[in-house]
Amino acid sequence: MNKQTETKRLFNDKWDTYSKAALDIDSEFCKAIKPIFKKWADEGYSPREIAHIFATAVQLVESEYILSRNVRINKEEISKRRSGGT
């Protein structure tokens, strides 16, 4: 995992437009999910319901990532305090 002191932004300040990295993420994500979406839609499932499941899955992945990161950071801070660091 790449440790950073400051979170990088994916939106440009002016007009809240996508940065180059955001455009790359969008393209990569669409490429990854398109075949899964098509598979289930072609089997007759509701595209709207498929999209809802995708959105929920993304929120779950986000929550898991943030939670595990925060637990790791908290453990590091406790360890530093116990060892006399600041």
pLDDT tens across 74-83, in order?
Answer: 999 998 888 8
d(CA 57, CA 41): 17
Domain boundaries along the sequence of the chain: 20-82
pLDDT tens across 8-63, in order?
Answer: 999 998 888 999 999 999 999 999 999 999 999 999 999 999 999 999 999 999 99
pLDDT at 4 exceeding the cut of 70: no
Rg, Å, the chain Cα set: 19
More confident site: 65 or 2: 65
